[in-house]
Amino acid sequence: MNSPEVRVPFVTKIVEGYFRFLKFAIALCLAAMVVLVFGNVLLRYAFNSGISVSEEVSRWFFVWMTFLGALVGLREHGHLGVDALVSRLSPAGKKFCFTLSQLLMLYCCWLLLSGSWEQTVINIDVKAPTSGWSMGFFYGVGVVFGATAMLLVLYDLYRVLFGKLQEDELVMVKESEELAELHDEEAIRESRAPMHAVVGANR
């Protein structure tokens, strides 16, 4: 008998597709930076020439890659932070700190979004000195980041206010990558322990 097919909501498909596109754009920016910088160095030392737009365009790609990568990290809650205090609070304390931090993040994202939008509008007709591209493209990444980050933060606020978050999800930062890996390994061992106990009892 075939298992029933799990239907993925349409909105989830859109979100997953959007973040897959962001990851592809990050990889594309990184590849373009490598080609431009390495190619420019090679041309200068080997042929006494160079790519005139290399430095400027690679800098733009680096800015876009940084902001888009921050969005992916925000969605996956992969940013590092200090949880020494919050992790020791009661569930109500964790919920209060989580809500407060999300509200502060929402305000910061709004400041970034509004400021970037103003700069994009002001510089839309300003040309970059080397490439000739519109400077609005440079400041536009702040608009993309601000709008997307606000939606992510609002979704997390909705989840915490309507009780859709577990207690372990109320601490959405990692004190270090090593501790995060250690906690993951401990969780895997704890999940396997009952299975080994059942198998031992059956024997």
| pLDDT tens per residue, range 128-156 | 888 888 899 999 999 999 999 999 999 98
CB within 8 Å of 79: residues ≥ 6 apart: 73, 173, 174
Q: What is the pTM of this model?
A: 0.76
Residue where the block lists tokens 């989840």: 159
pLDDT < 50 stretches in the chain: 1, 3, 198-199
**What are the residue ranges spanned by the domains of the chain?**
8-76, 80-184
pLDDT of residue 119: 94
Alpha helices in the chain (DSSP H): 10-47, 54-75, 91-122, 135-161, 177-202
**DSSP β-bridge partners for residue 174:** 80
* CA proximity to 138, closest of 76, 61, 191, 198: 61
pLDDT of residue 1: 44
